[in-house]
Amino acid sequence: MKFETVTVDDAAELLSIYAGYVTDTAISFEYEVPSLAEFTQRIVNIRKKFPYIKAVDDSGAILGYAYASTFKGRSAYDWSVESTIYLRQDVHGRGIGRALYTELENQLREQGILNMNACIALAGENDPYLTNASYFFHTSMGFSPVGTFHKCGFKFNRWYDMIWMEKMLGDHTDKPKNPFSSTSI
């Protein structure tokens, strides 16, 4: 397995990974799978400022992808990002997510990002659309819960809580280095 930067040529393969999360789970709160054009534009927009990486096997097939995006659109938040990761359903439990997220963290540190945030849906009892695997994954990666929004997402005729988790990637000094675009790394 190796890591590469996602390009717009990867959009269809990445969208095929993401589609099942939209249609079959409450991991994504989208109701409809985005069009290829919309998904491609998302890649373009994120790549302007942040890392967007994929894990590929020896044959070149994409196993999963991860990226960072704007946490909030105000300058004071420039040192914080929201992180996202999706894996092909058939590769869970093989350490690919851990390796991919570690690579994303390393690129974010190099960029000067200090806070990595994740917004995660929480499952109720016996939920057929959601487990708490994402919560446990992020906990194992060093993230800590910082807040819960109760019954804020509605999908599959049920309400979901969202939990925010954070991981500090660097020291918070009085004069932090300005983050720079990942495309210049």
Which CATH number do you get for residue 23? Answer: 3.40.630.30
Read off the pLDDT of each residue in 45-53 and give the average, rounded to a whole number. Answer: 95
181 in a domain, yes or no? Answer: no
Give the pLDDT of residue 44: 97
Read off the pLDDT of each residue in 137-151 and give the average, rounded to a whole number. Answer: 97
184 in a domain, yes or no? Answer: no
90 in a domain, yes or no? Answer: yes
pLDDT tens-digit map of 63-117: 999 999 999 989 899 999 999 999 999 999 899 999 999 999 999 999 999 999 9
98 in a domain, yes or no? Answer: yes
Q: For strand 158-168 and strand 52-56, is the pairing parallel, antiparallel, or unpaired?
A: unpaired
| Whole-structure pTM value | 0.93
Give the pLDDT of residue 23: 98
131 in a domain, yes or no? Answer: yes
Q: 3-state SS string over 140-183? A: HCCCEEEEEEEEEEEECCEEEEEEEEEEECCCCCCCCCCCCCHH
Give the pLDDT of residue 184: 41
Query: Structural domain tally of the chain?
Result: 1
pLDDT at 128 > cutoff 70: yes
41 in a domain, yes or no? Answer: yes
- For residue 127, give its domain range: 2-174
pLDDT at 181 > cutoff 80: no
183 in a domain, yes or no? Answer: no
Percent of the chain with pLDDT over 90: 90
Structural contact between residues 81 and 68, judged by C-beta atoms closer than 8 angstroms: yes
Give the pLDDT of residue 185: 37
Give the pLDDT of residue 172: 94
185 in a domain, yes or no? Answer: no
